[in-house]
Amino acid sequence: MDSIHSIIAVVLAYLAGSLSFAVVVSRAMGLSDPRTYGSKNPGATNVLRSGSKAAAIVTLLLDAFKGWLPVFVVKTWGPSWGLGDGAVALVGLAAFVGHLWPVFFRFQGGKGVATAAGVILAFEPWLGLAALLTWVIVAFFSRYSSLASIVTAVFAPAYYLFGQGVAWSAPRPLVLSLAAMGLLLVWRHAENINRLIAGKESKIGAKKKAP
């Protein structure tokens, strides 16, 4: 793996991940800053609490795109620059970490669900589909976005391992990247887990009045 090109790719991926589209889209559409209402999380689910489905959808798509794009670029053109699975794994993780701790927004980011989905989709399209189906099924029956995200984060690395046919043949860097994102996602949902246990977690579609 070319170390210089790898470092450049990782830094650019982190900067892309640092674009907090929940805040950008809300400002562009004249909505309140999502960090000031609801869960105060700059993510699509909280933007939905503003009452604007359009803003939430745009936020979701852009947050996923910023995770997908860096990985896609490195997978497609990286080999000619000496970038392999290790660089792909690091770039995906960097974009995800950028969303969690965005340099452009005082390192106050979201939980990374949509960005992780974009990264996973770029890693392997079938894995992205499996993760999406898991999220949809859990969310549909529970009505809890947080629970769906937690379950998906836990299952994604397992899907990837067993989806290879022979688990031990799976590229180790990608497995480690998926596991790291899964652990960070669960950690970022710690408050949600406490509210789920206490029965106080907000369900999908529940509105909280923005100031």
Q: Evaluate whether residue 204 is within a structural domain.
A: no
Taking the C-alpha atoms of residue 170 and residue 102, their distance in angstroms, rounded to an integer, is 30
Range ranked top by mean pLDDT from 20-24, 38-42, 155-159: 20-24
Q: Evaluate whether residue 211 is within a structural domain.
A: no
pLDDT in tens, 171-188: 688 989 999 999 999 999
Q: Evaluate whether residue 182 is within a structural domain.
A: yes
pLDDT at 41: 86
Q: Evaluate whether residue 27 is within a structural domain.
A: yes
pLDDT at 136: 94
Q: How far is CA 57 from CA 42, 46, 163, in A?
A: 13, 11, 30
Identify whether the C-beta of residue 19 lies closer than 8 Å to the C-beta of residue 104: yes
Looking at the structure of the chain, the number of domains it has is 1
Taking the C-alpha atoms of residue 105 and residue 120, their distance in angstroms, rounded to an integer, is 24
Q: Evaluate whether residue 113 is within a structural domain.
A: yes
Band of pLDDT at residue 170, cut at 50, 70 and 90: low
pLDDT in tens, 53-91: 999 999 999 999 999 999 999 999 999 998 999 999 999
Task: Enumerate residues 6+ apart whose C-beta is below 8 A from 179.
Answer: 157
Q: Evaluate whether residue 32 is within a structural domain.
A: yes
pLDDT in tens, 82-136: 899 999 999 999 999 999 999 999 899 999 999 999 999 999 999 999 999 999 9
User: What type of residue is 93?
Assistant: L
Band of pLDDT at residue 1, cut at 50, 70 and 90: low
Q: Evaluate whether residue 183 is within a structural domain.
A: yes
Radius of gyration of the chain (CA): 17
Q: Evaluate whether residue 207 is within a structural domain.
A: no
pLDDT at 68: 98
Identify whether the C-beta of residue 83 lies closer than 8 Å to the C-beta of residue 6: yes
Among candidate residues 120, 129, 131, the one with its CA nearest the CA of residue 88? 120
Q: Is the pLDDT of residue 165 over 80?
A: no
Query: By residue range, what is the domain housing residue 22?
Result: 3-198
Identify whether the C-beta of residue 117 lies closer than 8 Å to the C-beta of residue 131: yes
Q: Is the pLDDT of residue 210 over 80?
A: no
Identify whether the C-beta of residue 41 lies closer than 8 Å to the C-beta of residue 34: yes
Among candidate residues 189, 13, 187, 162, the one with its CA nearest the CA of residue 102? 13
